[in-house]
A and B are shown apart, each in its own frame.
Chain A
């Protein structure tokens, strides 16, 4: 099954301060799979995620070249409607950052930005997204409470739900479980397996073990380059490149 959701071609990126950059990345991300981008810190994984929804616009980028396509949308085209792009590509960050409002308002925020006021639409979106993020049962009776009153694991699933409200096609997750206990982490991972039936998931895992657990496809990043890519099985059981093997075996990183 080859159904390419995101196509990356000769992508290079440099920040003005000379920090973490990407060099000539070529990568295809298959629809309805979990693609894992892994490797030591500073390898460019997060930078690539931030290219996918143009969150890089907020940073000081010196050079950005190559081509990134979301189906037929040319993401790097300066004329592209970034608002529309960000509605197609949702993002969840490492730290669960809930907006300073109620649980409900956190979810309806993105819909209300477009002027959506219909109560039934908002209500459906809340219930659907919380269900998809496996949080509905825990919070259905306290939707009006401040989101900050939730536990860390619940907050992170709320962030996941928030990114699902807009029914994006792609969800980018940047170490979404790095601050969570193993039980919450497990819940998120199980949730991702369900979500990939509907969405395309790109994940920067917080550990190599997590990468091996969830990856359908994987790409190993080292110092801004993709060293090796393939299915999760290929990479984690039978890596071809010495550096990939060394990293997976824990010889460096």
Chain B
């Protein structure tokens, strides 16, 4: 039965066996098309940036300072700055986030208060990043007088990252079968020993995945560091956490919009470095997850 006669049959006898088969074919076809459409932009963006930016990439580009009003030279300080900001964010958000997740999953009673906290955390994840930037400006830069600095930026990014880390870590902790906890308690372990020796090791891959995904978002964001940490240009690397820094996403914003006559390959080269940085973290998370799944004993 060809397509046209199939459609005719579908119109005339919508419930005949042939029509039902055709409906199924049609349904799967549409779902397949939907999947392809979603993949096209991702592939397009990555290949577009790769093609246009690869010519700018060189060892010098990655290891030298920008020169001639950014129009020449490399992006070294922006790469280093983004690494500093990511590490700084990890220092604050990882222990806090995992701690909160452990409390919510293992200790918090299931009452209205706990549910309210959980909803608040989920909502926190929906706040636009520029709002975090403004909050960071008011809170860390001005009120705590940290100035425009790596520290202020890392703290702002931490607050933005926390909800991601808390919710994924809590999910990973909850995925550990309750029966393991009961067994551990029944042989005389305390709750904390049970968490330390059973629950945490078993959920660690899941927690790591959440941490990396959260940090990846922090590394790629512009708005939160716009007012708190990033500067246009620095002639040298930051020497303390209280120094301002250059950063990849902000640098990309600057050279794409603020510098007239900017060579296109440097713009795309910068975008390519940022994408590789973020996708690289993503890849690490994927590897951790699939390896853990292969070794999991439950």
Q: Which residues of A contact B (CB under 8 A)?
A: 53, 55, 58, 83-84, 86-87, 90-91, 93, 95, 97, 99-101, 109-110, 113-114, 146-148, 162-163, 165-166
Nearest B-chain residue to A149, judged by Cβ = B297
**Among all A-B residue pairs, the 8 with the closest Cβ atoms:** A100-B297, A110-B187, A86-B188, A87-B188, A148-B297, A97-B179, A91-B186, A83-B188
Nearest B-chain residue to A87, judged by Cβ = B188
Query: In the bound complex, do residue B183 and residue A99 qualify as a contact, i.e. CB atoms below 8 Å apart?
Result: yes
CA distance A249 to B115 in the complex (A): 50
Nearest B-chain residue to A165, judged by Cβ = B187
Chain A residues with CB under 8 Å of B202's CB are 100
CA distance A95 to B180 in the complex (A): 12
CA distance A83 to B190 in the complex (A): 7
Query: In the bound complex, do residue A58 and residue B182 qualify as a contact, i.e. CB atoms below 8 Å apart?
Result: yes
Task: Say whether, besides A99-B180, A100-B296, A146-B297, A55 and B186 are in contact (CB < 8 Å).
Answer: yes
Q: Which residues of B contact A (CB under 8 A)?
A: 177, 179-180, 182-190, 193, 197-198, 202, 296-298
Query: In the bound complex, do residue A100 and residue B188 qualify as a contact, i.e. CB atoms below 8 Å apart?
Result: no
Chain A residues with CB under 8 Å of B183's CB are 93, 97, 99
Query: In the bound complex, do residue B185 and residue A100 qualify as a contact, i.e. CB atoms below 8 Å apart?
Result: no
Chain B residues with CB under 8 Å of A99's CB are 180, 183-184, 198
Nearest B-chain residue to A159, judged by Cβ = B183
Nearest B-chain residue to A88, judged by Cβ = B188
Nearest A-chain residue to B201, judged by Cβ = A100
Chain A residues with CB under 8 Å of B297's CB are 100-101, 146-148
| Partner pick for A113 among B177, B179, B180, B193, CB 8 A cutoff | B193
CA distance A99 to B184 in the complex (A): 8
| Partner pick for A100 among B186, B187, B298, CB 8 A cutoff | B298
CA distance A100 to B33 in the complex (A): 42
Query: In the bound complex, do residue A166 and residue B296 qualify as a contact, i.e. CB atoms below 8 Å apart?
Result: no
Chain B residues with CB under 8 Å of A93's CB are 179, 182-183
Query: In the bound complex, do residue A90 and residue B187 qualify as a contact, i.e. CB atoms below 8 Å apart?
Result: yes
Query: In the bound complex, do residue B180 and residue A97 qualify as a contact, i.e. CB atoms below 8 Å apart?
Result: yes
CA distance A109 to B183 in the complex (A): 11
Best-surrounded residue of B177, B182, B297 (most CB of chain A within 10 A): B297
| Partner pick for B187 among A84, A86, A147, CB 8 A cutoff | A86
Chain A residues with CB under 8 Å of B193's CB are 113
Query: In the bound complex, do residue A110 and residue B198 qualify as a contact, i.e. CB atoms below 8 Å apart?
Result: no
CA distance A110 to B297 in the complex (A): 19
Nearest B-chain residue to A162, judged by Cβ = B187
Chain A nearest CB from B93 CB (Å) reads: 28
Chain A residues with CB under 8 Å of B189's CB are 83, 109-110, 113
CA distance A76 to B157 in the complex (A): 50
CA distance A91 to B183 in the complex (A): 9
Best-surrounded residue of B180, B187, B189, B193 (most CB of chain A within 10 A): B187
CA distance A30 to B263 in the complex (A): 90
Task: Say whether, besides A100-B296, A113-B193, A148-B298, A55 and B182 are in contact (CB < 8 Å).
Answer: yes
CA distance A165 to B190 in the complex (A): 18
Chain B residues with CB under 8 Å of A95's CB are 179
CA distance A97 to B298 in the complex (A): 10
Task: Say whether, besides A100-B298, A148-B297, A163-B187, A109 and B197 are in contact (CB < 8 Å).
Answer: yes
Chain A residues with CB under 8 Å of B180's CB are 97, 99-100
Nearest B-chain residue to A60, judged by Cβ = B110
Chain B nearest CB from A67 CB (Å) reads: 22
